[in-house]
Structure 1
């Protein structure tokens, strides 16, 4: 998969001010509305919880039950010392049709809001190894829920010009309309509004959702929601719809769950 906007390829040698300026430029061209052909119903993973299975790369024969379903990629990262291990897994339904990875040095430390300059290069290198052309990409990281509306999912999505959804575990910025410090029923979505920390969006703009994909039945335990936001060419509501449709009984949507497992596998090999 080729880079479409080379001017946005993350450069860790930039100064903090230059990185932030580039993120504002990315946010200017990012599309936070639906500009894709992916119906959440077409990617929904139903039935009992089960392990996705590895099939033939690029397999999509007409007589296969999932042959007409969109290709959905999941991206996750692992770290070995000062190296980032980026894993990309492409699924059609629950069938893994291709996997790719890249290992690159992390040239800068983690800085909140500048994650794409630490990890983005490895992710783009992994995508360069793919033969498949995904219809949709789930990224383990923020999209529009970001200080400059240009989190990792947005940076990757705009650079590759591919529809992306950001799926984060922690809230970077923005204000939930309701408290998240409680047990939310499965399927709940709580809007996250831009606040004073989001410099590129009008205060009160919905920039994403806290999405409760799974919940314990226990009264004493609860699962925290995911923080879901559009990366590029996906609307805010649709991003939440897509994550709920692909959760498949787990907290994480299936594409990033399988990518996470692959990243752990690669980490042990590296």
Structure 2
């Protein structure tokens, strides 16, 4: 194990003490540095098609990141797995200095995430965040911000749509379906540009019950279509992809330990 990824852009580490205009300006800088196209060293087929379909290649190390909150502190949890097997779990406890502001999540929670990243002994090939990537007003959600700061392939998985417009209804989608999300007047990208997907990872069989889709977008060094493919493959029968589902559970576990 080679240890955590180093800060590739320490100048872009989110600073919660900055004013809103400065934060938004930095997000535009982040978006200009981000690469919303596939640029990674692992074979995505080892995840999408599975290791049985690619017997000569090892699956990549995938890190799921999620957080839990305790008073004015945040527990940032990272679970790293390879081919479904957990290889490392770490967490960090950090004081929060600003409240949640829509569109500026990285300035509240990005620093704490970097604290947890510093605890890693492994070097993940892919980071999956509980939050948006390019589906963001300034194309720089937390998955994009962290991806650029660390220069790592990253994907954002959000439970609700922050901005952008689906190309068709996302109601009652069947498991495995996806609907493109295009930029609109709320997004800095060119109007109509594909910035992510609504992805239906799981659905009830009953017509009277529905599971809402996830909103998947590229963070950095991953294309939109590949991000959707990866999240579908990583869902493994649950709504949330396995990396963030495990990170969510571990964050709650760590919260109980810290609370004690």
Instruction: State whether TM-score is above 0.5.
Output: yes
Instruction: Specify the alignment match of 1:192 in structure 2.
Output: 181
Superposition TM-score, scaled by structure 2 size: 0.93
Q: Is the 8 A contact 1:45 1:247 kept in 2?
A: no
Instruction: Specify the alignment match of 1:234 in structure 2.
Output: 222
Instruction: Specify the alignment match of 1:259 in structure 2.
Output: 247
Q: Quote the offset at 1:144 in angstroms.
A: 0.1
Q: Quote the offset at 1:107 in angstroms.
A: 0.6
Instruction: Specify the alignment match of 1:111 in structure 2.
Output: 101
Instruction: Specify the alignment match of 1:52 in structure 2.
Output: none
Unaligned 5+ residue runs, structure 1? Answer: 47-64
Instruction: Specify the alignment match of 2:134 in structure 1.
Output: 144
Superposition TM-score, scaled by structure 1 size: 0.90
- Within the candidate set 32, 38, 63, 2:36 is matched to 32
Q: Is the 8 A contact 1:70 1:92 kept in 2?
A: yes
Q: Is the 8 A contact 1:230 1:236 kept in 2?
A: yes
SS at match of 1:150: coil
- Within the candidate set 202, 206, 215, 2:190 is matched to 202
Task: Trace 1:52-67 onto structure 2 (pairs within 5 A).
Answer: none
Instruction: Tell me the C-alpha RMSD between the 2 structures.
Output: 1.6
- Within the candidate set 1, 12, 28, 1:8 is matched to 12
Unaligned 5+ residue runs, structure 2? Answer: none
Greater mean deviation of Cα atoms: 94-103 or 25-34? 94-103
Moved over 6 A (4+): none
Partners in 2 of 1:169 and 1:225 — Cα distance? 7
Instruction: Specify the alignment match of 2:22 in structure 1.
Output: 18
Q: Does 1:169 align with 2:159?
A: yes
SS at match of 1:108: coil
